[in-house]
Chain A
Amino acid sequence: MLSPLILISAVLNGLMTGAVYALVALGLTLIYGVLHIINFAHGALLSAALFAAFLAFQKLGLDPYLAAFVLAPAFFAFGYALQRFVIGPASHGDDRNMLLVTLGLAVLIENALLYAFRADTRTVDLAYGFKSIDFGFTFLAVPRLISFAAVFFVALALWLIMVLTDTGKAIRAVAKEKLGAELAGIDVAHIYAMTFGLGTACVAIAACLLIPTYYANPRAGNAFVLVAFTVVVLGGMGSVPGALIGGLVIGVVESLASFYFGESLGQVGIFLIFIAVLMVRPRGLFGASA
């Protein structure tokens, strides 16, 4: 019953889904790599971004893919302000406090969304939402192909920012040696906030890529973030290529596992890999040695 063509289709589906995991993980890994905090608000921010993309379409008639160009800077500013004026000051330089502050923010954002939009599920209906390209043996949805390509573009852009710009260099310097960077005249609070902003912008783009085929509700983001944590560990914390490859690998593993063992067990494949990586190569595929 299972011809090789179906298997290829399953792998392709996995790659498409994995690309979105990768984008969510990119934001997470960046924030972890520099700030050394696990951003629990990431899922809530993704939910918020999904609603923002939904509203941009509903109220302004803005196509989600165009909205990405507006929402990414807006969420960058939001993330920057959040770290600079809320998380930073509230945590008094202690990592554990940061963790709790982001957890608190997650609760706050989720409930604010619940209050503003109720628990209702919102979707957008786009002319191309159901378009798919016939490859002879399978149909690939156009929005998913677009998001697949966009993720690579975003990853490349992020990598270039990190390698070529002064800000990128400063981010890497702070990640490696905070005190040294501070002594060299780098404004650490600013760089922290820049990093958080970049991570949040990734989430905004992910939301714009998701909304044509997915839905917005106050808890929608959570479904992606637990997987993104796994991607971050697999790819190596703080590594951009790691998050990208990790996301794709996890997507394919989940797809194949769910295909062979049933959807209910699809996640088992992910977490088996997670455990295996922690045992064999705890710093992840691309992680720097601790």
Chain B
Amino acid sequence: MSEQKIPFSRRRLLATTALGAAAAASGSFATPSFVRAQGTGVKLGLLHPVTGALSYSGQQGRIGATMAVDEINAAGGIKALGGAKIDPVLGDAQSTPDGGTAEVEKMNSAEVSCIVGGYASSICLAVSQAAARYDLPYVVDVGVADSIVTRGLKNTFRFSPGFGVIAKAALDNLTTINDQAGKPAKTVIIVHEDSLFGSGLAKLLNAQLPPKGFEILETIPHPTPTRDFANVVLKIKAQNPDLVIPANYYNEYVLLARTMQEQHVRPKGIYSVLGGAASSYKFVKDFPDAARYIMDCNHWFNPKSAKALELKKKIEDKGQFFTYELYLNYSAVLLVADALEHAASTDRAKLTAALENSTFASPIMPYGPTKFVNGQNQGAAPVSTQVLDNDIKAILPPEFAIAKAVFPMPA
């Protein structure tokens, strides 16, 4: 009799593979982390997806938020509260809405006065609802879905622009750039990732580009992650559009741009709306040739502000990239600190009222004084940028532009 182990049946391979895939997909591998600093200051919840699929963005956000806290504390804390220090309560949303909700529960029992963060729209939606149950003020850092501020939640504030505002600005800016160049671009191919963000954007572009005189040749969806863009680029090459509009996350954006370069596909312009890599210093540094002349409409700092440039230098000296997650979180914490000064209290209701009436002007962002209507900051707007001279330069709106758009891009 042999004692040889019976090999796994194929059925078991299937079952176990599926199990592993499910476990990986649910993000249950991520280590939960909940760090609470001890102290008697004002407790501020900083909630970011620092593990899981969104961890890069989450970690960047946390850097920005904690940096603002450190600076406020170093400058003497909240003066209206007798110089009370801000005591950050860090939370990890683990890249899922459930993870975000769970952290809200913990932060509520830790008696925080306010929560900042969220990053992804899906997390922001869940967190805002959970926080609303405790009348806990919540400042969204990035999440662009319009529904975050249209559900009538009194506790939720978004300092940065939402999707509708960004998309409108992006299309207006594109039309302006094209008109100024003598309308060289007429045909468009859209390459988008197939979840809420990319599909939503593709739908909007398909509705709004034709009335502005653009013909959409094809709309190509792809999943995240996609390992290979060779076939997508083949399709682009076969139809030779004037403009390529990618709407996807960082890795896929970079692979697409690299493959286009490799296959010698050079449209008249590459224009993104909230492009994953299009206005990323990392992309420009890693692949200057593939990134050159790419345009984007995205969250962007005010390049004419000395304070913004000072912060940028400080971050870059630390070896980090100055990404929008970082400065949006930095600004959101400053907004809360300003509201604490006006409320002169850590009481949640008083802080909510102070946020509602906030006139805080971020020294970093091109938003002007804050004015919340139903929780949305009315001055918030995106900026159009282009990769020029191995740097990313604002090209529109004119009041913040530091360069002129180069379009069509030179062959």
Q: Which A residues form the contact surface with B (CB < 8 A)?
A: 1-3, 6, 9-10, 13, 16-17, 32, 36-38, 40, 95, 99, 103, 106-107, 110-111, 114, 118-121, 123, 125, 129-130, 132, 138-139, 141, 177-180, 213-215, 217, 219, 222-224, 226, 229, 233, 237, 255, 258-259, 262-264, 267, 278, 282, 290
- Name the contact of B220 in the complex, choosing from A129, A233, A262, A267 (C-beta under 8 A): A262
Mask of B257-274 contacts with A, CB within 8 angstroms, 1/0: 010011110000000000
Tell which of B55, B194, B222, B230 has the most Cβ of chain A within 10 Å: B230
Q: Please tell me if the beta carbons of B251 and A121 are within 8 angstroms of each other in the complex.
A: yes
Q: Does B181 contact A (CB under 8 A)?
A: no
Binds A, one of B10-18, B36-44, B136-144, B152-160: B10-18
Report the minimal beta-carbon distance from B11 to chain A, rounded to whole angstroms. Answer: 9
Pick 10 A–B contacts, CB within 8 A, sort by A. Answer: A10-B230, A13-B228, A17-B228, A36-B5, A36-B7, A40-B20, A114-B51, A130-B262, A229-B13, A263-B223
Q: Within the assembled complex, what's the spacing in Å between the Cα atoms of A107 and B3?
A: 31
Cβ–Cβ < 8 Å partners of B231 in chain A: 10, 13, 255, 258-259, 263
Say whether B182 faces chain A, with CB atoms less than 8 Å apart.
no
Cβ of A218 to closest chain B Cβ, rounded Å:
8
Q: Is A6 within 8 A of B234, CB to CB?
A: yes
Known: A178-B3, A263-B232. A99 touches B221 (CB 8 A): no
Q: Given A38-B16, A118-B55, does the pair A123, B262 have CB atoms closer than 8 Å? A: no
Report whether over half of chain B's contact residues are helix, strand or loop; otherwise say mixed.
helix
Instruction: Out of B4, B55, B194, B258, name the residue touching A119 (CB < 8 Å).
Output: B55
Q: Which residues of A contact B5 (CB under 8 A)?
A: 36, 95, 178
Q: Among the listed A6, A132, A264, which residue makes an inter-chain contact with B222, where contact means beta carbons less than 8 Å apart?
A: A264
CB-nearest residue of chain B relative to A43? Answer: B24
* Cross-chain contact of A132 among B59, B232, B262, B290 (Cβ < 8 A): B262
- Select one of A120, A215, A264 contacting B254, CB under 8 A: A215
Q: Is B409 interfacial (CB-CB < 8 Å)?
A: no
> Judging by beta carbons under 8 Å apart, are B31 and A36 in contact?
no
Q: Mark B53-70, 1 if CB is under 8 A from A, else 0.
A: 101101100000000000
Known: A125-B286, A226-B21. A107 touches B13 (CB 8 A): no
The answer on a CB contact under 8 Å between B20 and A125 is no
A177 engages B29 (CB within 8 Å): no
B29 contacts A111, C-beta separation under 8 Å: yes
A57 CB to closest chain B CB (Å) equals 12
Contact of B238 with A6 in the complex, beta carbons under 8 Å: yes
Given A130-B289, A264-B194: A282 touches B10 (CB 8 Å cut-off): yes
Q: With contacts A226-B21, A282-B10 known, is A1 near B287, CB below 8 A?
A: no
Say how far B3's CB is from chain A's closest CB, in angstroms. Answer: 5
Confirm or deny: B150 has a beta carbon within 8 angstroms of a beta carbon on chain A.
no
Q: Which of B51, B58, B258 has the most CB of A within 10 A?
A: B258
Report how far A284 CA is from B21 CA in the complex, Å.
Answer: 22
